[in-house]
Amino acid sequence: MMSVLEKGRIGIGALSVGILQDALEHSVEYAKARRQFGQPIASFQAVQWMIADMAKDTHAARLMVDAAAARLDHGESAAVESSMAKCFASDAAVMHTQNAVQIHGGMGYIRGVAVERLYRDAKITQIYEGTNQIQRMIIARHVLA
């Protein structure tokens, strides 16, 4: 049973990475195109920092998911690694899709705009295959053992 959960959690982590990557790409494209005060919003430090954090957390989430999947591929247990990957990636997806909506301003909140859909899709990744609160219990048990 645990093997099925490990695979499912890695899958949700990978889904979260895909959501993160898409949010990052949409945000970069929009920030370069949208102009305010005579310049692209990509030139504003606040937007740059949101995009930088989005990029770094996308990279970190991808590495965590890859590491958990590699353990399974080698026939090793990945219970803790899959919980960490799923929890980190899904929390990052929610936080950074929220930032993507912020970068898009009022447009980001309109139904049918890509980042609005990504924001809604990100939330469920914190719930599927065991809530992130459960993932934190699994991680804490391992660390405290």
Cα distance between residue 70 and residue 54, in whole Å: 24
Q: Whole-number mean pLDDT of the chain?
A: 96
> Residue 49's domain spans which residues?
2-144
* 25 belongs to the catalytic site: no
pLDDT digits (tens, 9 = 90+) for 30-53: 999 999 999 999 999 999 999 999
Q: Quote the pLDDT of residue 4.
A: 83
Q: Give the total number of structural domains in the chain.
A: 1
110 and 117 Cβ atoms separated by less than 8 Å: no
What CATH code is carried by the domain that includes residue 64?
A: 1.20.140.10
- Band of residue 2 on the pLDDT scale cut at 50, 70, 90: low
pLDDT digits (tens, 9 = 90+) for 99-136: 999 999 988 888 989 999 999 999 999 999 999 999 99
Closest CA to 3 of 70, 89, 84, 79: 79
Closest CA to 60 of 5, 3, 30, 21: 21
pLDDT digits (tens, 9 = 90+) for 24-36: 999 999 999 999 9
